[in-house]
Structure 1
Amino acid sequence: MLPLPLPELPPLIQSASMDSLMGALADVPVDLRQQKGRHIVLMRGRRRLLLLDSGTLRGAFPVAVGMPGWETPTGRFKVLNKINQPIWVHPVTGHRVVEQGPDNPLGSHWIAFHRDCLGRDAHDGDRWITIKGCTTTGFHGTPHRWTVGRAVSHGCVRLYNEDVKSLYRQVNLGTPVTVLP
């Protein structure tokens, strides 16, 4: 099945000054700036997500990234799945913790881009936990707006709900994702 065509949208600049956007864009490697088609570039250190389309900046969003010990993975990935109104499942117990709604830690939309099946032992801030099986890292909204712009997550990338909704509409399964340090 072919992916749905992506909407034609004018360049979209959100939540940043032109100077900071030009600085962020200048830090994107030339090959990514010249890449054909839509792709997501996450600048983990700048805590900024850029949506590029054949060299045109379509979106720029502030984000929260993984905290020390739970860093958002770097590398080249692709959008694996998209879920409108996701349900959060606890990574250790596998239980559904929060159903859809305003208190869901995933916010209104989920865009997965990395799957890890190695498991891990890690500290969650209060205690050591063991995660067995596969975990998925993605972009999602958050009811905790104050976290955006910080390194506070367990590896996922948090956006304001209105920003993840915009991103969700503009990408398809298979859209390339590059996470820079």
Structure 2
Amino acid sequence: MYGPHPDEAFPLPATDISKVDPRFLRQQVPYPTYEPPGTIVVDTPNRYLYLVQGDGMALRYGIGVGKAGLEFAGEARIGRKAQWPRWIPTSDMVAREPERYGPLAGGLDPGLTNPLGPRALYLYQDGKDTLFRIHGTTEAWSIGKAVSSGCIRMFNPDVIDLYNRVPEGTRVVVIQAQPPMEPAMPPIDASMQMPAEEAPLAF
């Protein structure tokens, strides 16, 4: 699962998983929930992302999450998907760490050193970009930790796998405690307009 991906626009080397607890590797697991199949559930405290499959099962991926005070919580939709996205630090990130992010305020082109990795899923609420993303990472060792500036990091092969499984409009539930046990949201409004231009990105 974590070998090289030579056919990518920027060929990916094998992912170094040697410093990561094996429980954070992609696997199918029992996962009873009221959420319908196709829903993404992000379990922030346990550092897991679940793609609900139905029949009490889910695909589970290990994730890295935001530092204390920077986590996203609540419900969103995948409003946009991008392969090898461009990265731009948010104004909050630049203000918080000017020495680190100030020189990058103009953005970073796609590639193996881009913090978003090979794929990004953009989280929207009420048709508006939240600036939070589910994306790859240049720091495989960070999976299972709370080190990001708020976004949800995945191993690069895992975010490619998830990207290929979910469409725009997918419901995303990000929890900080118990798994959600509420009925699903109504179907996404097909008239929701997505921006044509790249929005600032957090990671």
TM-score normalised by the chain length of structure 1: 0.69
Residue in 2 that maps onto 1:54? 54
Gaps in structure 1 of 5+ consecutive residues: 1-12, 117-133
Matches within 5 A, 1:15-34: 15=25, 21-22=29-30, 25=31, 30-32=33-35
Work out whether 1:141 is the aligned partner of 2:136: yes
1:152 and 2:147 matched: yes
Aligned to 1:70: 70
Aligned to 1:121: none
Residues 17 and 50 of structure 1: is their aligned pair in 2 closer, same or farther, counting only changes over 3 Å?
Answer: closer
Alignment of 1:1-181 (within 5 A): 15=25, 21-22=29-30, 25=31, 30-32=33-35, 35=36, 37-55=37-55, 57-71=57-71, 73-92=72-91, 95-114=105-124, 136-181=131-176
Percent sequence identity over matched residues?
Answer: 29
State the AA in 2 paired with 1:65: V
Q: Which amino acid aligns with 1:145?
A: A
The question of whether the paired residues in 1 share the 8 Å contact of 2:26 and 2:158 is answered with: no
* Conservation of the 8 A alpha-carbon contact between 2:88 and 2:106: yes
Give the number of aligned pairs.
141
Instruction: Tell me how far apart the structure 2 counterparts of residues 147 and 89 of structure 1 sit (CA, whole Å).
Output: 20
Separation in 2, partners of 1:56, 1:161: 26
The Cα shift of 1:164 comes to 0.2
Task: Note the C-alpha offset of 1:144.
Answer: 0.6
Does the Cα contact within 8 Å between 2:24 and 2:48 map onto a contact in 1?
no
Question: Superposition RMSD on alpha carbons, in Å?
Answer: 2.6
Structure having the larger proportion of residues in strand? 1
TM-score, normalisation: structure 2: 0.62
